[in-house]
Amino acid sequence: MRLTRRAAAAAATVLAVTLGAGALTAPATAADAATGAATQEGVTRMSLNYVVDEAGSTGFFDSLWFNEGVRAWTSYTDGRSYSLSRYAKSVSVVGGDQFVDSETDTVINMATGARYQLPTSNNWEIGIAGPYVFTTLSPASGVTLWAHTAQGSRQITGLPAGAKSVSVRPGTARYAVIAFTDADGGRHQGLVDLAAGKVTEVYAVPASASSFTFSDTRVAWAERDDASGTARAVVLTRGTDERKTVDLGTMPRTAEVQLVGDWLLDGLPLREGRDLTPGYGLRARNLADGSAPVKLLDYFQTMTRDTGGGVLASGGRLGKGEGVHRIERGADGRPTVTLVASNGSPAETAEMREPLMRNPVDLDRESSVSFHWYVNHWDTKATVRLRHVRTGKTYDWASDGYGGGRRMDGNNNDYGDGFSMGPGDWVGTFGTQDESAPGTTIAYNGAYTWEFTAESLAGLGPAVKRSGTFTVVRSPKQHDFDDNGSPDILARDASGVLRSDTSVRSRRWSALTEFEVPETTIGGGWQIYDRIETVGNVAGSVHADVIARDKAGVLWLYQGDGNGGFAGRVQVGGGWQTYDRITGGSDFTGDGRADVVAVDKAGDLWLYKATGSATKPFDTRKKVSSGWGGYDQLTATGNIAGAAHGDLVTRDANGVMWMFLGKGDGTFTEPTRLREGFGRYSKFIGAGDYDDDGRNDLLAVEAATGKTYLFQGTGARTTPFERARIGTALFSSGSYDLFG
């Protein structure tokens, strides 16, 4: 419909007055905000992802194709879409240019702004056609059918006795389409003569029938044989016994059909990518001469009768865009296709906006991160690969086009920017989107590349391919040797081979989850040491380091390389055989660097303050206190009781655990008795935040079984650890000597 500039301005004025102040200037939702003046003469601009529902004389009702509850009315006159949520809280039925607010039983005409109330009784709305709103007395039992306008109500005659589950939808200016079931459950479709107020034609249809349609001379519907998948259209000549069947081929679902003059329109709506076969589109067949079908649209989503005798169809043509098309009989009798409302999207699969990426990705601050790529069609096979540059390890995500993408824009609304494809909740792992699958490991820090591919399952143009980069960062961790933010525990086997193992506990899900990561071999020759200790970053790199004492009492430094291994050893100094116990990895002095403490054979505690230098990693030792000879375990745990400084836990000969709170100056408070019963453990390990809950924990190796258990930190001053222990899978494949 095309109006002069003056007529369009007058119509806009009427709408502004009748629909309320601001109706044309203050968009209430994205359905309004995304639309504006016509993009070209005679072509209205509509919202992306909206499809036509019902057509009227001055506009059409459209809705999100995946959520019919989000509806709008698009005007031919001023080229705008008006969200129905502005005028009603709940919409029951739409048709022509009218809809019913079911909460107030108010009929609202979007073309004129007129409103009227339905009767308080007999108001079960079942459809709108022409100027009438149709209601019944009961939705389930035998019904009486009524038609209402602002001027009054009338009963529709001709409905067979016992009819139930009645619905009405628009047809032409003269006829409405009615559907109902009889007392035996049989399905029927027919026509209502609007002027006469009477059901004039009724046709029995099978259970598989869909999209009943009619023209001046014919009625038609589509059927499908579920066993063979064969689809067909049944065409009847009105007023005669003539019946014709048109073979539509094999289809995964029942086709939809419409009639335009002597032409039958048929096709398979683009709805579910997993059962869509490319090439269907929307076709037209000449019923008079039986000639080969003509493709009208490369794909369509919905179609409905136009009140002028044509059809409105939402879909697209490759190279010509996407939107609502009017299909009508041309001067030569052949169907013509005209774009009447564009949503601004190409018909081909396309990226609709810049991807939503986070860079850098800080996995300390966030337990998961969202990556989104926006495409115009949900029926899209999408794949994403995140690749760690240094190691080549990957995370792979894939969607089959139905249910894999999320329908939202940048503000998390269900409209606007297309369909969001991608790992919306990447939790920082290698593997696939199934985090429970074998082989899942924690992702490393560092540089990554990403690759995104979107391919239409309906054959709509070439695949879309995009790529880029991002960086994953985490703060350095005391026991993190491979730079993935998770604690790694070291152990040596009987032959002197050093290995690391990560059995990561995570609270990224509602329950405590464990990744059982395969053990990593670091190297052999470690049997020359009688003490190996993880001490955090003491030599200036960002990665955790290890000190090892040989049997002559010489201490050696191994700087972590961030790849799970160590640089060549550097001699620290001799005389370390005087110490019975050594521990490190906690900042005892408040300077931000991890320090080392040791207890000598006389029971004195000595502090070795870290320097950050690889050639001289520790300052001259400083005596802290005496009386530590009664403890056979000494473990640096970091902050476990709520203060900002590193703490120590010990165990006495009776198996009682004690805690010494760090003061931040290299000294400690008097001991606090924690609990008894720890004599069964041969080794304590302060592994930092092992369960990913923000609090430091304690690992303990059971002497009798060699199994390692987790005692979760609470952060509480008097009870820093949970009483119940939790088993881990650390070094479960063999016999090892674990180190702190």
Q: What is the mean pLDDT of each run of 10 residues along the chain (740 residues)?
A: 29 30 30 37 78 92 80 88 90 94 93 92 85 82 85 94 91 94 94 97 94 95 92 96 93 90 92 57 93 93 89 94 95 94 92 88 88 86 95 92 44 54 86 81 93 90 96 89 89 93 62 66 95 93 93 96 92 97 95 96 97 95 97 96 91 97 96 96 92 89 93 93 91 71
The token pair at 489 is 């525990």
In sequence order, what are the beta bridge partners of 710? 699, 726
For residues 551-577, b (16+ Cβ closer than 10 Å) or e, as one string?
eeebbbbbbbebebbbeeebebeeebb
**C-alpha closest to that of 53 among 39, 41, 70, 37:** 70
**C-alpha closest to that of 308 among 287, 288, 326, 285:** 326
pLDDT at 122: 61
pLDDT at 10: 30
DSSP per-residue letters across 239-282:
TS--EEEEEEEE-SS--EEEEETTEEEEE--S--GGGPPTT--E
pTM for the full predicted model: 0.77
Neighbour-count burial of 620, counting CB atoms closer than 10 A to its CB (0-12 exposed, 13-18 middle, 19+ buried):
exposed
pLDDT at 514: 63
The alpha carbon of residue 63 and the mean position of all alpha carbons in its chain are separated, in whole angstroms, by: 22
The token pair at 396 is 């792979």
Neighbour-count burial of 329, counting CB atoms closer than 10 A to its CB (0-12 exposed, 13-18 middle, 19+ buried):
middle
pLDDT at 625: 97
Q: Are 519 and 500 in contact (CB under 8 A)?
A: yes
